[in-house]
């Protein structure tokens, strides 16, 4: 297996290097007429063309100068930009045309007459860009003709953010798209949902499609510098061409292609990251904790340990977060080259990104490159090859999670460890144990984070090759082959001098290593036909798609190492191994027709038919149709009187069915496992059936209706997009109980229904024009859901979340907290549980039986999913300065801060929140009701019962990014065409009342990745750092 992986790595690396090296040479070879930078020019050829200097000024419709407008001699690389007065000077030859452009305005071509030496160019605003081309499924469309719910952003709207992942740049940009940064780990921690969760067990992650290739897994390894545009497809009309995988929405990512002329650019930024105060738990310091321990002893009639006799003398002690966290560097270097001249066109991007984590010994590095090339053989034939290799290394200590499930949670262990224990001795040595009187022995977490090894290496290649032929006018036939290859290797080593919560050194050394090698190939053949016949316009698409996925996973564990010196598996006396192979395949037929009459009556219909190996033989094929219509009312005669006010008005409606296939690869089959049996007092290994198959298992179907309105006011200076949607999931994938006599407990089946609905509003406005320009993009969305059916008997799914018919999915389910029994009078008045006493936590008697029991008095106590999502971007330009501010937030939900179970523990075995000092101490000093008496151990179990005491308002509004840039004026642009410097602030500030470090956190009740049934919990996560960077954009 290792040999196979090594060979694969070498082959892939060699192919990538060869392609990147050969591309420039191929460009010169295939375009001999182009200038070769290594060949001297003939002086005669230069003097044959007569050049002259032309000056000019670029103005807007109000006569105000436009600063920084691009002025280029069309078809060449000869260009300049306007100065502070909107003026420019450029050399050009007779007969050449100037192309003038600026963001937010329509471009303009200007033919300069033979006798003209000075020109004036006036650009018109293009606030709505209704004629811009947006990327949709299997093609592009003019924005005004789109009848589905589609939102797009360009690369310039995501520029200059110092982040590792594409999804971080998308936050706050799209209505109805919830993007959370649940962890601050470098290169990790992002989740995305489009219009809520569409399934219970079938996954909620959208389908990511990069340059036509559906990506298996996440997109964290893709370099954001390579992106040209991102389109989010939300309704069934927009997503139906992706059929069985589109129930959670589709994200189309288009990478950079060659632009006209030759362009070389360098982008560099570097900066510092640190943990803001909000990212630190508010724990007791040494003197506060000693006083707390002293009070516990006194309140329970126990002797006070000498270590806690004089709290005031102890000072601050050890702040374990100060010990573990550090200021950390972040840097990025990106080189881009585009050649759009001649028959051979290419765009190449190479980048290096390095982010040190704010947690000691954490780091993320990514090396990436992309070469997108295209060669036009003739007017009817062109070919292209795209290649994108990347390699990343992630060193990430096991910091997050719940220690009761995984004792590797360093952050939770550190915050609960006594502040009286030093992390470093007076002589500079590092102690192995951090403990104190009456406490569990914990490891020194500074040692743990330094000594533990937890490393992931990811090698990724996305490749594409296509041939496109136009055999007759208006008909294009295209065949493409795509490949996505990934090797993910993880290894860890815990030496004997490390440890876990409750387990101080020395421990038995342990090593683990996993290898996951997977590939998927996609072969697609499509034909498109576009035709205009008088007032009728047709756009037809038909295609066939075949995709195959294969993965090989191995896991090896080595234990009982004799020492820490050799961590390779050949030194481990005990080795265990595990592994599996997974495969799936998909065969699809697609078709679509777009029709419009007079450009204002729009109709679109699409169909995808999928056959998948993931479903039962009796239900393997699924049909996913959609239909949508649009009417551009602003083109009607009856709207003419209002055209100065309402410049654009389009109504949209769509209906369609999409599917969800994220259920695993062999759920429909009867599965087997290895078992041991006793025959004649001898142990024999064999096989037994472990899972019941279901040949009728089929797709989850998601039926969607979308009604939308697009409005532009005042020459589209103000534009509004509104959508109402309703989604209904039936044939829900669900685990049904079966009679025990069958030999099984349950079977996977299609037996459930869910309903989702919501509103989305996007507003774009150009508030100020002229020298000071100000634009605002605002989006607000509301999403809600209801469970309609669960299996045959509608039995609820219950844990600390509950999903039941008639209610929202996955709501918090627990006891209703009502404070504490403040005094004897309250204790006698209210129902109580068996161990209750004056000063203990009081709960509501929900079922009214006169007593409180943990199992019988639970109720719905909160909603873990934001009902409202907001985002806003404000952009300002003044002369050479530009400023952008990005804000995003979520409202209408609660979070369960489960750290409170431990940091609010009154036994004294952990460090605790400072807020614990406001606990019940006496009837005269009852505290705020959140923390009860210091009764110890099993005499006060109610404080750990899951209840509304652990819930906090999760509402938040975060200033995600502030970037201030300056376009440096250049006198000589012969070499450097443009130079921009900027400063950027990421994760600036979060407005929230939530007690935890990050209101975007969302994990399950067990501390693992959240799902629809278990979500909304916080067990401490890697804090999201605040980042300050300085950057340069240089164009040659």
Domain end, chosen from 216, 231, 260, is at: 260
For residue 127, pLDDT over 70 is answered with: no
CB 263, CB 347: distance < 8 Å: no
pLDDT at 84 (0 to 100): 75
**Is pLDDT larger for residue 974 or for residue 1028?**
1028
Q: Are 144 and 171 members of one domain?
A: yes
pLDDT at 937 (0 to 100): 56
What is the pLDDT of the chain when averaged over all its residues? 88
Q: DSSP strand E in 598-660: where?
A: 601-612, 621-632, 646-660
Q: DSSP strand E in 288-380: where?
A: 328-339, 344-356, 363-376
For residue 10, give the 3-state DSSP assignment: helix
pLDDT at 762 (0 to 100): 97
Mean pLDDT over 423-452 rounds to: 89
Q: Are 92 and 61 members of one domain?
A: yes
Mean pLDDT over 274-283 rounds to: 89
Q: Are strands 894-897 and 951-953 parallel, antiparallel or unpaired?
A: antiparallel
For residue 326, pLDDT over 70 is answered with: yes
pLDDT at 18 (0 to 100): 35
Least confident of 564-568, 732-736, 918-922: 732-736
Concatenated DSSP letters for 250-291?
A: EEEEEE----SSEEEEEEEEEEEEE--GGGS--B--HHHHHH
Q: Are 79 and 191 members of one domain?
A: no
End-to-end CA distance of the chain: 47
Domain end, chosen from 218, 245, 260, is at: 260
Concatenated DSSP letters for 527-565?
A: EEEEEEETTEEEEEEEEEEEEEEEEEEEEEEEE--SSSS
Residue pointed to by tokens 């006209």: 260
Domain end, chosen from 260, 291, 326, is at: 260
CB 977, CB 1036: distance < 8 Å: yes
Measured distance CA(140)–CA(137) in Å, rounded: 8
**Is pLDDT larger for residue 335 or for residue 78?**
335
Least confident of 541-545, 866-870, 999-1003: 999-1003
Q: Are 63 and 115 members of one domain?
A: yes
Residue pointed to by tokens 């992630």: 394
Q: Are 104 and 192 members of one domain?
A: no
Helices (H), 284-399: 286-299, 320-324
CB 893, CB 863: distance < 8 Å: yes
CB 654, CB 627: distance < 8 Å: yes
CB 959, CB 878: distance < 8 Å: no
For residue 325, pLDDT over 90 is answered with: yes
Q: Are 154 and 115 members of one domain?
A: no
Q: Which pair of tokens denotes residue 93? A: 């030859």
Measured distance CA(384)–CA(269) in Å, rounded: 32
Q: DSSP strand E in 411-474: where?
A: 433-434, 442-443, 453-472
Mean pLDDT over 33-44 rounds to: 38
Q: Are 110 and 137 members of one domain?
A: no
Measured distance CA(317)–CA(691) in Å, rounded: 55
Q: Which residues of 380-414 are buried (b: 16+ CB within 10 A; e: fewer)?
A: eebebbbbbbbbbebbbbbbbbbbeebbbbbbbbb
Q: How many domains does the chain have?
A: 2
For residue 11, pLDDT over 90 is answered with: no
CB 753, CB 788: distance < 8 Å: yes
pLDDT per residue over 370-404, tens digit each? 999 999 999 899 999 999 999 999 998 888 766 55
For residue 293, pLDDT over 80 is answered with: yes
For 152, 175, 258, 484, the CA distances from 778, given in Å and listed in that order, are: 14, 9, 31, 36
Residue closest to 244 by CA, chosen among 666, 582, 607: 607
In a domain, 98, yes or no: yes
Give the torsion sign (CA, 748, 750, 751, 754): positive
Going by the DSSP 8-state scheme, the letter that residue 112 receives in this structure is P
Range of the domain at 71: 50-126
Number of Cβ within a 10 Å radius of residue 586: 21
For residue 506, pLDDT over 50 is answered with: yes
For residue 14, pLDDT over 50 is answered with: no
Number of Cβ within a 10 Å radius of residue 794: 13
Measured distance CA(621)–CA(369) in Å, rounded: 38
Number of Cβ within a 10 Å radius of residue 580: 10
In a domain, 449, yes or no: no
**Residue 103 maps to which CATH number?**
2.60.40.1120
Mean pLDDT over 516-540 rounds to: 95
CB 446, CB 424: distance < 8 Å: yes
pLDDT at 402 (0 to 100): 63
In a domain, 454, yes or no: no
Q: DSSP strand E in 195-246: where?
A: 207-210, 213-214, 227-233
Give the H or E element holding residue 701: strand 700-713
For residue 866, give the 3-state DSSP assignment: coil
Mean pLDDT over 68-72 rounds to: 85
Q: Are 238 and 150 members of one domain?
A: yes
For 613, 764, 787, 861, 930, the CA distances from 858, given in Å and listed in that order, are: 42, 46, 19, 8, 18
Which are the contacts of 428, defined by CB distance < 8 A and separation ≥ 6? none
CB 137, CB 528: distance < 8 Å: no
pLDDT at 40 (0 to 100): 38
Q: Which pair of tokens denotes residue 553? A: 């996973």
In a domain, 142, yes or no: yes
**Residue 237 maps to which CATH number?**
2.170.130.10
Q: Which pair of tokens denotes residue 68? A: 């920084």
Q: Residue 13: is it exposed, middle or buried by C-beta count within 10 angstroms (0-12/13-18/19+)? A: middle
Measured distance CA(226)–CA(336) in Å, rounded: 9
Q: What is the pTM of this model?
A: 0.86
- Name the band, by pLDDT with cuts 50, 70 and 90, for residue 466: very high
Residue pointed to by tokens 């003939």: 42
In a domain, 447, yes or no: no
Give the torsion sign (CA, 275, 281, 285, 286): negative
Q: Are 122 and 141 members of one domain?
A: no
In a domain, 241, yes or no: yes
For residue 254, pLDDT over 60 is answered with: yes
Measured distance CA(601)–CA(101) in Å, rounded: 31
Q: Are 156 and 86 members of one domain?
A: no
- Length of the chain equals 1036
For residue 6, pLDDT over 70 is answered with: no
Least confident of 22-31, 354-363, 372-381: 22-31
For residue 939, pLDDT over 80 is answered with: no
Residue closest to 308 by CA, chosen among 287, 278, 281: 287
pLDDT per residue over 807-819, tens digit each? 999 999 999 999 9
For residue 12, pLDDT over 50 is answered with: no
Q: Are 157 and 228 members of one domain?
A: yes
pLDDT at 49 (0 to 100): 52
Measured distance CA(917)–CA(901) in Å, rounded: 16
Q: Which pair of tokens denotes residue 582? A: 């997974």
- Name the band, by pLDDT with cuts 50, 70 and 90, for residue 60: confident
- Name the band, by pLDDT with cuts 50, 70 and 90, for residue 19: very low
Number of Cβ within a 10 Å radius of residue 806: 9
**Is pLDDT larger for residue 522 or for residue 855?**
522
Least confident of 39-53, 546-560, 619-633: 39-53
pLDDT at 1005 (0 to 100): 67
pLDDT per residue over 860-902, tens digit each? 999 999 999 999 999 999 989 999 999 999 999 999 999 888 8
pLDDT at 324 (0 to 100): 95
Residue closest to 943 by CA, chosen among 961, 959, 931: 931
Q: Are 251 and 161 members of one domain?
A: yes
Q: Is there a cis peptide before residue 506, judged by omega within 30 degrees of 0?
A: yes
CB 899, CB 889: distance < 8 Å: no
- Name the band, by pLDDT with cuts 50, 70 and 90, for residue 28: very low
In a domain, 381, yes or no: no
Q: Are strands 51-59 and 87-93 parallel, antiparallel or unpaired?
A: antiparallel
pLDDT per residue over 161-207, tens digit each? 888 899 999 999 999 999 999 889 998 878 899 998 888 876 788 99
Q: What are phi and psi of 971, to 5 degrees?
A: -80, -40
Written in H, E and C, the secondary structure of 935-949 is CCHHHCHHHHCCEHH
Measured distance CA(420)–CA(436) in Å, rounded: 7
In a domain, 782, yes or no: no
Percent of the chain past pLDDT 90, that is, above it, reads: 60
pLDDT per residue over 825-848, tens digit each? 999 999 999 889 999 999 999 999
Mean pLDDT over 503-510 rounds to: 86
């Amino acid at each position: 297996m290792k040999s196979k992986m090594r060979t694969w790595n070498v082959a892939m690396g060699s192919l990538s290097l060869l392609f990147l090296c050969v591309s420039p040479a191929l460009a010169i070879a295939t375009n001999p007429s182009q200038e070769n930078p290594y060949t001297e020019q003939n002086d005669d050829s230069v003097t044959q063309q007569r050049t002259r200097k032309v000056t000019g000024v670029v103005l807007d419709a109000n006569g105000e100068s436009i600063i920084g407008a691009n002025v280029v001699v069309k078809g060449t690389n000869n260009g300049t930009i306007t100065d502070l007065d909107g003026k420019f000077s450029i050399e050009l030859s007779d007969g050449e045309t100037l192309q003038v452009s600026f963001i937010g305005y329509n471009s303009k071509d200007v033919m300069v007459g033979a006798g003209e030496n000075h020109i004036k160019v006036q650009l018109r605003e293009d606030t709505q860009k209704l004629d811009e081309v947006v990327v949709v499924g299997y093609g592009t469309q003019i924005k005004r003709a789109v009848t589905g719910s589609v939102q797009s952003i360009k690369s310039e709207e995501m520029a200059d953010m110092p982040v590792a992942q594409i999804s971080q740049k998308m936050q706050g940009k799209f209505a109805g798209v919830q993007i959370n940064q649940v962890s601050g780990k470098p290169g990790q921690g992002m989740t995305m949902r489009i219009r809520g969760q569409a399934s219970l067990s079938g996954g909620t992650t959208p389908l990511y499609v990069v340059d036509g290739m559906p990506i298996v897994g996440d997109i964290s390894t893709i370099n954001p510098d390579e992106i040209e545009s991102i389109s989010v497809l939300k309704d069934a009309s927009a997503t139906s061409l992706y059929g069985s995988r589109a129930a959670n929405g589709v994200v189309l990512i288009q990478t950079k292609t060659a632009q006209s002329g030759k362009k070389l650019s360098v982008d560099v930024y570097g900066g510092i990251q640190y943990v803001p105060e909000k990212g630190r738990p508010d724990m007791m310091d040494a003197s506060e904790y000693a006083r707390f321990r002293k009070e516990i002893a006194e309140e329970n009639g126990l002797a006070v340990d000498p270590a806690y006799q004089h709290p005031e003398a102890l000072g601050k002690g050890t702040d374990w977060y100060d010990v573990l966290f550090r200021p950390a560097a972040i840097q990025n270097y990106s080189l881009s080259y585009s050649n759009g001249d001649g028959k051979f066109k290419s765009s190449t991007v190479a980048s290096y990104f390095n982010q040190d984590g704010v947690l000691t010994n954490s780091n993320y590095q990514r090396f990436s490159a992309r070469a997108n090339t295209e060669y036009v053989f003739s007017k009817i034939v062109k070919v292209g090859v795209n290649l994108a290799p990347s390699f990343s290394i992630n060193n990430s200590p096991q910091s997050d999670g719940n220690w009761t499930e995984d004792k590797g949670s360093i952050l939770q262990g550190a915050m609960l460890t006594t502040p009286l224990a030093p992390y470093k001795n007076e002589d500079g040595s590092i102690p192995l144990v951090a403990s104190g009187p009456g406490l569990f022995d914990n490891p020194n977490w500074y040692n743990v984070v330094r000594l533990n090894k937890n490393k992931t290496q990811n090698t990724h290649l996305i490749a594409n090759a296509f041939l496109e032929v136009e055999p007759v006018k208006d008909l294009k036939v295209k065949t493409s082959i795509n490949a996505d290859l990934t090797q993910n290797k993880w290894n860890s080593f815990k030496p004997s001098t490390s440890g876990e919560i409750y387990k101080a050194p020395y421990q038995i050394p342990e090593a683990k290593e996993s290898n996951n090698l997977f590939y998927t190939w996609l072969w697609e053949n499509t034909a498109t036909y576009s035709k205009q016949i008088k007032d009728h316009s047709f756009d037809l698409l038909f295609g066939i798609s075949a995709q195959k996925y294969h993965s090989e996973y191995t896991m090896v564990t080595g234990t009982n190492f004799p020492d820490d010196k050799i961590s390779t598996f050949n030194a481990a006396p005990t080795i265990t191994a595990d592994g599996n192979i997974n495969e799936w395949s998909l065969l699809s037929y697609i078709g679509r027709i777009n029709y419009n009459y007079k450009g204002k009556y729009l109709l679109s219909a699409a169909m995808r038919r999928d056959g998948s190996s993931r479903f039962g033989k009796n239900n393997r094929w699924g049909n996913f149709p959609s239909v949508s219509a649009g009417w551009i009312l602003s083109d009607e005669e009856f709207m003419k009187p209002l055209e100065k006010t309402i410049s654009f008005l389009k109504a949209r409606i769509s209906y369609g069915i999409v599917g969800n296939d994220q259920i695993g690869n062999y759920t429909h089959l009867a599965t087997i496992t290895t078992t041991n049996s006793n025959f004649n007092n001898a142990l024999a290994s064999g096989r037994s059936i472990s899972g019941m198959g279901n040949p009728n298992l089929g797709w989850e179907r998601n039926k969607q209706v979308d009604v939308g309105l697009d409005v532009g006011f005042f020459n589209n200076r103000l534009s509004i997009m509104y959508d109402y949607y309703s989604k209904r999931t039936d044939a829900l994938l669900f685990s049904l109980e079966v009679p025990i006599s069958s030999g099984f407990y349950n079977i996977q089946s299609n037996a459930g229904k869910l309903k989702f609905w919501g509103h989305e509003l996007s507003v774009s406005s150009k508030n100020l024009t002229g020298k000071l320009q100000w634009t605002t993009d605002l989006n607000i969305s509301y999403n809600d859901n209801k469970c309609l059916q669960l299996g045959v008997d509608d039995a609820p799914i219950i844990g600390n979340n509950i999903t039941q018919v008639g209610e929202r999915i996955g709501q918090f389910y627990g006891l209703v907290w009502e404070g504490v029994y403040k005094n004897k009078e309250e204790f006698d008045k209210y129902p109580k549980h068996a161990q209750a006493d004056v000063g203990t936590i009081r709960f509501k008697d929900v079922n009214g039986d006169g007593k409180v029991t943990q199992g019988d008095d639970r109720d719905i106590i909160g909603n873990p999913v934001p009902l409202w999502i907001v985002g806003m971007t404000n952009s300002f330009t003044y002369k050479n300065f530009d400023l952008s501010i990005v804000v995003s937030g979520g409202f209408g939900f609660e979070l369960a801060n489960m750290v409170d179970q431990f940091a609010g523990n009154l036994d004294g075995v952990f460090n605790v929140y400072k807020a614990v000092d406001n606990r019940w101490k006496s009837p005269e000093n009852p505290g705020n009701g959140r923390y009860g008496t210091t009764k110890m151990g099993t005499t006060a179990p109610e404080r750990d019962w899951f209840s509304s005491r652990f819930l906090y308002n999760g509402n938040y509004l975060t200033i995600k990014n502030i970037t201030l840039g300056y376009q440096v004026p250049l006198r000589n642009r012969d070499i450097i065409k443009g130079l921009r410097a900027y400063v950027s602030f990421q994760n600036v500030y979060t407005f929230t009342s939530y007690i935890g470090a990050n209101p975007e956190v969302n994990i399950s009740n067990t501390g693992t990745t959240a799902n629809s049934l278990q979500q909304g919990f916080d067990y401490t996560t890697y804090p999201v750092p605040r980042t300050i960077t300085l950057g340069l954009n240089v164009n040659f």
